Chain A
Amino acid sequence: MPMNNLYLQKTWLIIKREYLSRVLKKSFLLVTLLTPIGIGLIIFVAGFFAAKGSESSKKVAVRDESGILKPADLTSREFAFSLLAMPLDSLKKDYTQQGYDMMIHIPPYTDSTQTTHQINYYSKEKLSLLQIEKIEKTMEKIFATYKLEHSSLDKEAIKKLEINIKLENAMLNEKDGDVVGDKSSKFSSAIATGLSYGMGFMMYLVIFIFGSMVMRSVMEEKINRIVEVMISSVKPFQLMLGKIVGVGLVGLTQLAIWVVLMPVIIFVASLAFGQPAGLTGGSAEVAKTAETLQKMQQENPEVIQVFLRELSAMNWSLILPVFVVFFSGWLFHLFLPVCRSGFCRR
């Protein structure tokens, strides 16, 4: 097969058509623009509900018969505790009328060697596991402090036993100390986390969406029945090559637009609503990333500049080649169904 000028020219024509006919479609524009906006919207809505949820904390009446609890200890974002001294029976009956969502009863705690202590709650709604755990933690802390105070151990000695370990990236500090300071090293690991999630998301999209896109584009000629006209003009190999490269370029174009649009929209959405918890969907790491970002933002008003500086400090010389390798692997993967359908031509 001579690779002459005309051969390449025809292949180029096919690539051009495959690319333009897809990119200029209305559906392409819609999907490309709406997907990031949709994700932004999810963050927006999730952030909205998260913000709303934390506003309306539960009012909890606490009847403490142990005498250990002090009002100062009972602070929580989710719960508004009130210590009440009313008789238990009447409180059980009318805690709702007094405007409380639930009531907690703490029975007397006499034996300080006891390591478990059961307390009860009264509520119309069942508490979620998370809420139960939170109340348990609060109570455990108070009881632990109480037990320490009443033990024979020296308070100062106990304080001395506490330690808080901080892990920082020393490499970054050494490399360019002026850009990457003490704060930004944490910042850069936050960016790296975000980047890895972004890349994973992209791979997922690429494999599912564009794989089927190439499949459909190969079917197109057969459905339109133009395949005979086409392969009486060009070699089937040229047609397939044109299709794979054309559709691959469409995929890259879409990704490029997303890569630019997505962070902008996510950033705007997370600025509007302090906690982009909706994006994480239970992923604690991303939540932490967002928290770190948020903290950074409060501590440093030039956060966007630092963000961009940190982003450019990422190891792009490794990230980009790896991405290209992944992408070409994906192209190879696409060859398989394409070749199969090519061979099946009657």
Chain B
Amino acid sequence: MDILTIENVRKAYHSHVALDSVSFSVKKGTIFGLLGPNGAGKTTLIRIITNITKADQGAVYLDNELLSIHHPRDIGYMPEERGLYKKMKVADQLMYLAQLKGLSHDEAKASIKMWFDRLQMAGWWNKKIEELSKGMQQKVQFVATVAHKPKLLILDEPFTGLDPVNADLLKDEIYQLHKEGVSIVFSTHRMEQVEEICDDIVLINKGNILLNDSVSSVRTQFKENIFTLTTDVPAQNWDLIPGFESVEEQGFSRTFKVGEGHHSNQLLGYLLDKGIKIQSFHEVLPGLNEIFIKLVKTESNHAHE
């Protein structure tokens, strides 16, 4: 079951094509990473999903229904540019935003109270937004995003501007919501967060999809047969056999690449024969960061040619 389906969505501003026939889907209850460099079209796509702008072509389905003006109720959106009414009191503000999403007065109040307890925000009820610190404002912003219990949560660069403590707190809340069955779409250009949090990703560059898969299969797909081996003697005391290429030597460990038609067992057998004790041996999978840079670079090289 998919919570969100994007079908051939195209959007152009004047002569600039922001999205060129993009299609992918997000499975229900997963954490989905929407990746891409600056200007890739992530924000445009999010704005189409959140009903802020309309696509020129294509369709967006939320929970198998064509997107309509009734759907804001089901979507929680935290934009990259956070903002709240500075002069308003925290509670008034949250009540206002939740009711605009379609909650009744009482539903909104109950939900906001629940979140105040959950995020330890007691005592903020009557404070004005401008009296709060930035971290506190972020918490309020988060509550504003989730107070109406959306099925789909869209977070655009959620961790920018957060200190490590608040970032951790937000991460925990995201996991908690994930456990409660909320589907989450993440937009970011910071790969280490994606590796840590996301199940599936889509990588967009210049309005086109470069990659759409689960994080683990992406990493296997892009592995380069690189291994790291640690032994009980300094690495310089032994040489690699033909077909193996050294990448890096450091103390007792060596990183190497296995050539085409060869297997790491050949090297291990060779070392065992020589009486060298093996302490650890593991494959080095490429980080999403490297894959990201590699893909985006090849893409732009193609464009230049």
Contact code string A1-44 (vs B, CB < 8 Å = 1, else 0): 10000100010011001000100010000000000000000000
CB-CB < 8 A to A234: which residues of B?
72, 100
Interface residues of B in 122-161 (CB under 8 A from A): 144
- Asked if residues B72 and A227 are in contact (CB atoms below 8 Å), the reply is no
Q: Within the complex, what minimum Cβ distance (angstroms) separates B177 from chain A?
A: 18
- Asked if residues B88 and A21 are in contact (CB atoms below 8 Å), the reply is yes
- Asked if residues B77 and A229 are in contact (CB atoms below 8 Å), the reply is yes
B52 within 8 A of A: yes
- Give Cα distance in the complex from A25 to B75, angstroms: 33
A225 and B83 contact, Cβ closer than 8 Å, known pairs A231-B52, A232-B52, A232-B75: yes
B99 within 8 A of A: yes
CB-CB < 8 A to B102: which residues of A?
6, 10
- Give Cα distance in the complex from A195 to B99, angstroms: 44
B69 within 8 A of A: yes
- Give Cα distance in the complex from A230 to B86, angstroms: 14
B244 within 8 A of A: no
- Asked if residues B97 and A229 are in contact (CB atoms below 8 Å), the reply is yes
Interface residues of B in 78-104 (CB under 8 A from A): 79, 81-88, 96-97, 99-102
- Asked if residues B81 and A228 are in contact (CB atoms below 8 Å), the reply is yes
- Give Cα distance in the complex from A292 to B150, angstroms: 70
* Chain B residue at smallest Cβ distance from A238: B100
Q: Within the complex, what minimum Cβ distance (angstroms) separates A243 from chain B?
A: 13
- Give Cα distance in the complex from A232 to B72, angstroms: 6
Contact code string B13-57 (vs A, CB < 8 Å = 1, else 0): 000000000000000000000000000000000010011100000
Interface SS of A by simple majority: helix
CB-CB < 8 A to A6: which residues of B?
102
- Asked if residues A21 and B87 are in contact (CB atoms below 8 Å), the reply is yes
- Asked if residues A224 and B100 are in contact (CB atoms below 8 Å), the reply is no
**Tally of A interface residues using CB under 8 Å:** 22
Interface centre among B79, B88, B100, B144 (most CB of A within 10 A): B100
CB-CB < 8 A to B52: which residues of A?
228, 231-232
Q: Of A13, A25, A220, A225, which contacts B82 at CB under 8 A?
A: A225
CB-CB < 8 A to B85: which residues of A?
21, 220, 224, 226
- Give Cα distance in the complex from A14 to B97, angstroms: 10
Q: Within the complex, what minimum Cβ distance (angstroms) separates A28 from chain B?
A: 12
CB-CB < 8 A to A232: which residues of B?
50-52, 72, 75, 77, 79
Q: Within the complex, what minimum Cβ distance (angstroms) separates A120 from chain B?
A: 69
- Asked if residues A224 and B77 are in contact (CB atoms below 8 Å), the reply is no
- Asked if residues B100 and A13 are in contact (CB atoms below 8 Å), the reply is yes
- Give Cα distance in the complex from A231 to B72, angstroms: 9
- Give Cα distance in the complex from A235 to B100, angstroms: 11
- Asked if residues A13 and B96 are in contact (CB atoms below 8 Å), the reply is yes
A233 within 8 A of B: yes
Q: Within the complex, what minimum Cβ distance (angstroms) separates B269 from chain A?
A: 60
- Asked if residues A229 and B99 are in contact (CB atoms below 8 Å), the reply is no
- Give Cα distance in the complex from A10 to B100, angstroms: 6
- Asked if residues A229 and B87 are in contact (CB atoms below 8 Å), the reply is no
Q: Of B83, B86, B97, which contacts A233 at CB under 8 A?
A: B97
- Asked if residues B100 and A233 are in contact (CB atoms below 8 Å), the reply is yes
Q: Of B79, B88, B96, which contacts A228 at CB under 8 A?
A: B79
Interface residues of A in 192-234 (CB under 8 A from B): 220-221, 224-234
- Give Cα distance in the complex from A268 to B51, angstroms: 57
Q: Within the complex, what minimum Cβ distance (angstroms) separates A346 from chain B?
A: 9
* Chain A residue at smallest Cβ distance from B70: A6
- Asked if residues A233 and B72 are in contact (CB atoms below 8 Å), the reply is yes
CB-CB < 8 A to A221: which residues of B?
83
Q: Of B47, B51, B83, B88, which contacts A229 at CB under 8 A?
A: B83
- Asked if residues B86 and A228 are in contact (CB atoms below 8 Å), the reply is no
CB-CB < 8 A to A17: which residues of B?
96
- Give Cα distance in the complex from A226 to B85, angstroms: 7
- Asked if residues A224 and B72 are in contact (CB atoms below 8 Å), the reply is no
- Give Cα distance in the complex from A233 to B100, angstroms: 6
The 7 closest A-B pairs by CB, nearest first: A225-B83, A226-B83, A232-B50, A228-B79, A233-B100, A225-B81, A224-B83
14 contacts between A and B (CB under 8 A): A13-B99, A13-B100, A14-B100, A25-B87, A226-B83, A228-B50, A228-B79, A229-B77, A229-B79, A231-B51, A232-B52, A233-B97, A233-B101, A234-B72
Q: Taking beta carbons and an 8 Å cutoff, which residues of A are in contact with B? A: 1, 6, 10, 13-14, 17, 21, 25, 220-221, 224-235
A228-B47, A231-B51, A233-B72 are known contacts; what are 18 more A-B pairs with Cβ within 8 Å?
A6-B102, A10-B99, A10-B100, A10-B102, A14-B100, A17-B96, A220-B85, A225-B81, A225-B82, A226-B84, A227-B83, A228-B79, A228-B83, A229-B77, A231-B52, A232-B50, A232-B72, A233-B101
